[in-house]
Structure 1
């Protein structure tokens, strides 16, 4: 039951017919686990706290650093050197004393994953490395927990809802981790992006808890904050993703490594058509040749892509090139390949 102070606090969202008193009571009864109290974790934690999620757990073994502060705005310079999880819990309690917080100042590992996750109904992945992402996913699959996923790098972010009602999980989209990991330390990030993606994640959480609206269950949304392009992919279980509502055509798609590409280029260079699917500023800074067609401009540039050559898409990490492959797979008739691994 909501007390009078809570009724006043949440009044502006409770008057929404889609949410109402019942929705707010569902939020109060919710148990949400947020793994990672950094760039994505901060906005997720702040807005779920403000929205009135009843119990929130947060897992993070990191300390606040000066380089965090341009994007992790829950913290300030006086928090440098302090535990993120414990500091976040203290600050969030001031934001909303009606929420119950549990801070886990420890790394999320195979040894503690099930013990931490089992008491929560919804898990939100705000981690920053592939090892943790796959562990979170596999734990949620084992326990039957719905997982909200988010990732950010440079100007681009991704949001998805996995394992909802036994739907597609993270491995249906990315079956195995890449050979190398790139993060904000190496690739950089615009400080506003975690807020954009984090708020989408928090919004998905509210919708799932309250059973309202259309969620990203079984879908992957990509957001480019530099050019304001948004794409939504539908994820098929056991298959690669394909663009929502895309028409299916016959095509051959594969992933290749740099060794294979070099061999193709040495044997028959005229048969290969390289496409750098990064942004133009990234292409200008460094590239391995070919033309530059941004991931977000691919569908409008189909006429310029020859159908009688092997099209190989590449990017910095292999993630955008994989999405390019998925995009072209549904609308392009020729052979398409994605280059895996990092360029540098």
Structure 2
């Protein structure tokens, strides 16, 4: 919960009328609405996740919303970035977002930061805001957000999407978990997550979750998501909440290529098991001797996790895939299930 001085915060007659439906809610009330009015939120990114978040936060009366983004609107954005339309193509997102959000609520102060978020400007930018909402699509930006939020004691609300799947969590809240408890600081900072297809329903769903958790923190609602992550599979209509532990199981990175096949094969000895998460077709073309093929989709089953827990007690699980994104997805799943493992990755497309 944020602790602004509310004595001097006044709600106008128009405010009482406009926000009457949420003021009568037990978890908000007049004091909660005053907290919303004084809140300062920073959006990192102005894309698919950001659009529903900004619209809902603006609509409920958040006082200040900063938006940092240097991108222009493209036609391919319009299927999910619902704040924009065809007339806005080739215009800067932050400028159009300001215009569109002011149409929703003219009292909300929209602050555009039309530049790229970097490690050089991050501290100067973040220090002015209460809550940082991450809608970025790369690990380098997320690691920077994580570091600066920790240094400045800022709450970090995280969201990520891929195809019909998404995840959402709250970091650095009441001395809770941090982003690096979910992903290693050193995992693929040069990787961009925005490589697969995406539908607007997925970004809308995860973005809405980020928005409601933001409002709950502002108003002081009891936070049940602290130290947990929400994992959503919308194509199969599944949503689970997993506990994350601050003392994260260490994931060792081993860069490998063709000349290291013998080293990889040695993992099958000395109580180490190599799990190849590629498809059956990829596995049959070429694989490490004695490795076990468990395709990505099979990790969704309880039997797979039960198997890995059983063998993980006596053997070190080594995950291999030539696609870093798939490796990171499985690594996250194993981490939240407290299954110790190593993440093996390659510089080449094939092993």
Aligning the two structures, in what range does the TM-score lie when normalised by the shorter sequence? 0.7 to 0.9
Whether 1:102 aligns to 2:111 is yes
Whether 1:234 aligns to 2:243 is yes
Correspondent of 1:299 among 298, 302, 308: 302
Separation in 2, partners of 1:190, 1:165: 34
Any residues of structure 2 matched to 1:59-98 within 5 Å, and which?
59-98=68-107
Separation in 2, partners of 1:192, 1:285: 31
Per the alignment, in what secondary structure is the counterpart of residue 90 of structure 2?
coil
Tell me the equivalent position of 1:249. Answer: none
Separation in 2, partners of 1:328, 1:187: 26
Residue 314 of structure 1 contacts residue 321 of structure 1 at CA under 8 Å; is this kept in 2?
A: no
Tell me the equivalent position of 1:111. Answer: 120
Tell me the equivalent position of 2:17. Answer: 8
Tell me the equivalent position of 1:263. Answer: 262
Tell me the equivalent position of 1:151. Answer: 160
Normalising by structure 2, what TM-score?
0.81
- Structure 2 residues without counterparts, runs of 5 or longer: 1-9, 288-292
Q: Which 10-residue stretch deviates more, 168-177 or 1-10?
A: 168-177
Any residues of structure 2 matched to 1:158-307 within 5 Å, and which?
158-179=167-188, 180-184=190-194, 186-240=195-249, 256-259=254-257, 262-263=261-262, 266=265, 272=273, 274=275, 276=277, 283=279, 290-292=293-295, 294=297, 297-302=300-305, 307=311
Structure 1 residue 272: Cα displacement: 4.4
Deviations 1:275-315 (A, max 9, x none): 53x8xxxx478567713363663434456667387654456
Residue 137 of structure 1 contacts residue 147 of structure 1 at CA under 8 Å; is this kept in 2?
A: yes
Per the alignment, in what secondary structure is the counterpart of residue 166 of structure 1?
coil
Structure 1 residue 107: Cα displacement: 0.9
Any residues of structure 2 matched to 1:131-150 within 5 Å, and which?
131-150=140-159
Root-mean-square deviation (CA), in Å?
A: 2.9
Per the alignment, in what secondary structure is the counterpart of residue 103 of structure 1?
strand
Correspondent of 1:51 among 57, 60, 63: 60
Per the alignment, in what secondary structure is the counterpart of residue 34 of structure 1?
strand
Structure 1 residue 341: Cα displacement: 6.0
Whether 1:120 aligns to 2:129 is yes
Deviations 1:159-212 (A, max 9, x none): 11111123222123223242351422x222222211111010001100000011
Q: Which 10-residue stretch deviates more, 314-323 or 91-100?
A: 314-323
Separation in 2, partners of 1:239, 1:304: 21
Structure 1 residue 41: Cα displacement: 1.0
Separation in 1, partners of 2:337, 2:36: 40
Separation in 1, partners of 2:81, 2:187: 26
Structure 1 residue 30: Cα displacement: 0.7
Separation in 1, partners of 2:137, 2:242: 22
Deviations 1:17-59 (A, max 9, x none): 1111211111011111111111111111111111111111111
Tell me the equivalent position of 1:326. Answer: 335
Residue 164 of structure 1 contacts residue 217 of structure 1 at CA under 8 Å; is this kept in 2?
A: yes
Separation in 2, partners of 1:303, 1:134: 31
- Structure 1 residues without counterparts, runs of 5 or longer: 242-252
Normalising by structure 1, what TM-score?
0.83
Structure 1 residue 338: Cα displacement: 3.8
